[in-house]
Amino acid sequence: MELVFINPQDAIRVIAESIGREARRQLVGEVIRAWVDEIPEPELVGQYSRTLAALDDNDLSMLAAWHASMEVGQPLANREFLVRVFPTLGENRREAMKIAAGFRGDDAFDAGVAEEQALQAVLPHLSRESAELIVQEALELYCWDRLGSEN
């Protein structure tokens, strides 16, 4: 019998507060990627559009370069173009969303926005199953961090 005293989302928050900056950045990235995987299909384009709205020109250029690798035509580093071609990416749409959300997360992280704010925004939207998988990864990050990573 397994006893559980804390829900997975809270466990992720506790572990995030207990690890160093690089491990925390990786954990937040895992949470964001899990969130993207759970976005309902009808909401994906809208989420992508909102995510792109927060990106700077450098991030848009890198995202356009990724689009170029998908051979969707000559990509332009502007929001309108990237949103317009998003549906043509087929099964690669979620990967594009993960990249864009990762840029947004990195920008927030670099700007000093607390990881807690990022976690508060995303964790409530994760299913229990996804959160439990992330707890396992968080525990591995905790061990990696505590056993002497260069942090």
Of the chain, the percentage scoring pLDDT greater than 70 comes to: 85
Average the pLDDT over each of 25-39, 104-118, 119-133 and give the range with the smallest value: 104-118
Give per-residue burial for 56-69: e unless 16+ CB within 10 Å, then b: eeebbeebbebbee
Distance between CA atoms of residues 45 and 76, nearest Å:
18
Predicted confidence at residue 113, as pLDDT, reads 58
Closest to 76 measured CA to CA, from 87, 65, 91, 90: 65
Distance CA 63, CA 96 (A): 8
Could you tell me the pLDDT band of residue 150, with boundaries at 50, 70 and 90?
A: low
Give the integer Cα–Cα distance in Å for 113 and 36: 20
Give tens-digit pLDDT for 104-119.
Answer: 766 555 555 556 777 8
> pLDDT band at 47, cuts 50/70/90?
very high
Q: What is the pLDDT of residue 143?
A: 92
Whether the predicted model's global pTM rises above the 0.85 cut? no
For the stretch 67-91, pLDDT in tens is 888 766 677 778 998 998 899 888 8
Provide the pLDDT for residue 3: 47
Mean pLDDT of the chain, nearest integer: 84
